[in-house]
Chain A
Amino acid sequence: MNERPQAIVEMRNIHKWYGKVHAVDGANMIINEGESVGLLGDNGAGKSTLIKILSGYHRPDEGEIFIEGKKTIIKSTSDARALGIETVYQEQALVDLMSVARNFHMGREPVKWGGFLNKAKMNECMIPLRALGLSIKSPDFLVSSLSGGEKQGTAIGRALYFKAKLVILDEPTRALSVREVQTVLDFVKGLKEANIAVIFISHTLHHVHSIVDRFVILKRGKVVRNFKKGETSVDKLTEVLMD
């Protein structure tokens, strides 16, 4: 794979069926180091399925995935995270009734002898959260007391702390107030500054357009277009998506 040393993820000819529905139909996608890519497409175009394959939630029926040039089989979400792929879901994947620190480390808890939680290490979650500019007062606060933007920040902070190479953001600005949208877009810029690649999925083209380097357009399970940011505008993207 010497010809593309900079690609951190390459998906080749990915297929996924749900019963008779061909949700992903031979999709190809490359994500380079530190690059932010907007993944666009109408409802049912296969965006969610494609990224759920990359994040280990689903297994592809056909196709290959290369991580930093090496052919890899991602069996589970833990596998994906061990490979440096962190996903921030629409639903944020947080548990409201648990504290910020417990949510932050969920599934990857730092432990001492015998599997008991290392509370001091867990409280380190405040470092990336403060770095993102969040003013959460204590790691013991329940997630239910956070605003929508703070919740996204917590989920994005996980990616910073665990040194992800690629962060997948699935509709991160949905159901947020105008001000919170700006906060979340700033978080994404923070990821770029840390040289972390980003896949940003959104229906709101303005949000995507303001922060990504490249657009990938999915239609009926296939990648139909690739645009550099300079080559296109929000209006042109809308047109491509509509026809």
Chain B
Amino acid sequence: MKEINFRGRRTMLQLFKKVVTARELVVFVITLGLFVIFGFLSRGTFSSAEVIEIMAISASEIGLIAVGMTFLMISGEFDLSVGAISALSAYVLAVMAGQMGVNPFLGMVIAIIVGMVAGGINGLVVVKFGIPSFIVTLGTNWMWRGVVTAASRGLWIPFRPIETHPAFYKFLLADLPSIGSVPLIWFLGAIILGTLILNFHRFGNHVFATGGNREAAKAMGIKTGKVKVLCFMLLGGISAFSGCMQVSRMAGFQSLQGSQIMLVAIAAVAIGGTSIYGGRGTIFGTLFGVLIVTFLQFGLIMTKVSGWWYKIILGALIVVVMIVNNFLEEKRTKL
């Protein structure tokens, strides 16, 4: 067949329009706006190097999970158990490397396998029994949280890689003057890899098809159940990695670790424009969604909002950002 080029002759104007009308632009503008506003309100504390460094670590821990969540939500499912899975894996790493003296790299590999198995269980129950993932993962969230609480008896399990295993600590959390914050590099790596797989790989095509129209995908020979289980496993594994990062940073495991992270990650993905009904979403949108929730969390602290009000304002702002996002999105589609 002769070669055909259907993409030629794209004028600068078309290119400009494509960039300006990209959905991510809306969330990008909100991200930038929040940065400027909080920088101003906190008189520069917010945009200082120290705060940015802390935010980079926090954004990375949330963001890794959010990247996995983007895949799962595009496939049309949901996972409320990511926080508990990250805690389960953190517990495994803390016990193995902190108490049993296992090499922490090996401990982390085992923790990630545990996370993938936990994700796979979620996926199999959802696919085989046809139960909504919202309900299944609500259940497994309590289950895994119960398991780590019972196993640790609610006690602190120390694990101080910064002192005992510096190589491992650097691998996950170093802040190197030459290349910058390592957690951020992990996060950006996940974004690049996630974008490549979602938009340029066969698997990404199957994920969009599964979430966009499951019957059509099935009729075209896509194994939609397998796609969903793989998305659950991917998210489980990446949540485990994030959990290992947290437990190493906090120098120990406590049974409530990661209990907030699941809702924050879901909020970030939704703000980034991924549909909770499946079939639509981008990793770049998620990146900005993660930055937005991180800026809100830290911006409110930096502007010295009273601790009593913090959650009220944070919750309200997340809703306001969604409204602004939808409003701008409506304007954009009319362009």
Where the two chains meet, the residues of A that have a C-beta atom closer than 8 Å to any C-beta of B are 55, 57, 76-78, 81, 87, 89, 91-98, 102, 105-109, 111, 114-117, 120, 123-124, 126-127, 138-140
Q: List the A side residues contacting B220 at CB < 8 Å.
A: 77, 93, 106-108
CA distance A96 to B216 in the complex (A): 10
CB distance from A133 to the nearest CB of B (A): 17
- Of A81, A111, A115, A123, the contact of B4 (CB 8 Å cutoff): A123
Contact A96 B205 (CB under 8 A): no
CB-CB nearest in chain A for B74: A97
Interfacial residues of chain B within 154-204, with CB under 8 A of chain A in the complex: 196, 200-203
CB-CB nearest in chain B for A110: B202
Contact A117 B221 (CB under 8 A): no
CA distance A89 to B213 in the complex (A): 13
Does B6 sit at the interface, judged by CB under 8 A?
yes
CA distance A93 to B220 in the complex (A): 7
A-B contact pairs, 30 of them (CB 8 A): A57-B219, A76-B221, A78-B221, A81-B221, A87-B219, A89-B216, A91-B215, A91-B216, A92-B216, A95-B208, A95-B209, A95-B212, A95-B216, A96-B213, A102-B205, A102-B208, A102-B209, A106-B209, A106-B220, A107-B209, A107-B217, A107-B220, A111-B202, A114-B201, A115-B202, A115-B203, A116-B200, A117-B202, A126-B4, A126-B6
Interfacial residues of chain B within 276-328, with CB under 8 A of chain A in the complex: 279-280
Does B218 sit at the interface, judged by CB under 8 A?
yes
Q: List the A side residues contacting B12 at CB < 8 Å.
A: none
CA distance A114 to B215 in the complex (A): 27
Where the two chains meet, the residues of B that have a C-beta atom closer than 8 Å to any C-beta of A are 1, 3-4, 6-7, 196, 200-203, 205-206, 208-209, 212-213, 215-222, 279-280
CA distance A76 to B220 in the complex (A): 10
Contact B203 A127 (CB under 8 A): no
Highest count of chain B CB atoms <10 Å: which of A89, A107, A140:
A107
Q: List the B side residues contacting A109 at CB < 8 Å.
A: 202, 205
Q: List the A side residues contacting B217 at CB < 8 Å.
A: 95, 106-107
CA distance A109 to B199 in the complex (A): 13
Contact B215 A106 (CB under 8 A): no
Highest count of chain A CB atoms <10 Å: which of B1, B196, B221, B279:
B221
Highest count of chain A CB atoms <10 Å: which of B3, B202, B208:
B202
CB-CB nearest in chain A for B275: A97
CA distance A139 to B221 in the complex (A): 21
Q: List the B side residues contacting A77 at CB < 8 Å.
A: 218-221
CA distance A16 to B6 in the complex (A): 47
Highest count of chain A CB atoms <10 Å: which of B196, B203, B205:
B205
- Of B3, B201, B216, B280, the contact of A93 (CB 8 Å cutoff): B216
Q: What 3 A-B pairs are tightest by C-beta distance, nearest first? A: A78-B221, A95-B212, A107-B220
CA distance A57 to B196 in the complex (A): 32
- Of A106, A117, A138, the contact of B222 (CB 8 Å cutoff): A106
Given contacts A77-B219, A89-B216, A127-B1, 14 further A-B contacts (CB under 8 A): A57-B219, A95-B212, A95-B213, A95-B217, A97-B208, A98-B212, A106-B220, A107-B220, A116-B196, A116-B201, A117-B201, A123-B7, A124-B1, A126-B4
